[in-house]
Amino acid sequence: MEHMKTILGVDPGTARVGWGVIEDDKGVIRAKAYGCITTDKIDLPQDRLAQIYASFTKLLNTYHPDEIGVEDLYFSTNAKTAIAVGQARGVILLVAAQAHIPLASYSPGTVKKTICGSGSAEKAQVGKMVTRILRLKEVPTPDDTADALAIAVTHGFSYKLKTKTS
């Protein structure tokens, strides 16, 4: 018998960490809360990471997720950006480990394919589909927040498949 599961989706970054909490109650998925942790680019890198650490810890203490879904590091052409995002992602992984919360990673393509049916979907499509799936009144902003909710929904679908095939 399935029980209600609270899932936190995370789109990591240094300037913005999108987050979204969903609840899955026997197949009925709804958004519980969502938002974005922001840091100021004039702050030192270590201070920005400390802010992410403190804010993410507070999120876990507020919403008590059963599981966390986080986006994999996506490396395109800017190595400097990828390293900074990797550092922020590392902070997220550390906080989850310290809280003993199971975590799974998803590639951007997997999230897009799960939510929109195509791994090459545009950000706007992802936002619109998340809005439809979660029955929200408007597309969550910024994009990082919509992406985080998409990651949470992807994780929700993923754990259901695992429990049905186990």
Domain residue ranges in the chain: 5-165
Query: How far are the Cα atoms of 6, 46, 76, 133 from residue 152, in angstroms, in the given order?
Result: 9, 27, 23, 12
Tell me which of 23, 24, 67, 71 is the catalytic residue. 71
pLDDT given for residue 74 in this prediction: 73
Question: Catalytic: which of 11, 23, 24, 147?
Answer: 11
Inter-residue contact 150 to 132 (CB < 8 Å): no
Would you call 144 a catalytic residue per the annotation? yes
- Which is catalytic among the residues 23, 24, 67, 144? 144
pTM of model > 0.85: yes
Tokens read off for 65: 């997720």
pLDDT in tens, 78-118: 777 788 889 999 999 999 999 999 999 999 999 999 999 99
Q: Is 40 a catalytic residue?
A: no
Q: Is residue 2 annotated as part of the catalytic site, yes or no?
A: no
Neighbours of 93 (CB within 10 A): 16
- The CATH architecture one would assign to domain 5-165 is 2-Layer Sandwich (3.30)
Residue ranges in the chain modelled with pLDDT below 50: 1, 163-166
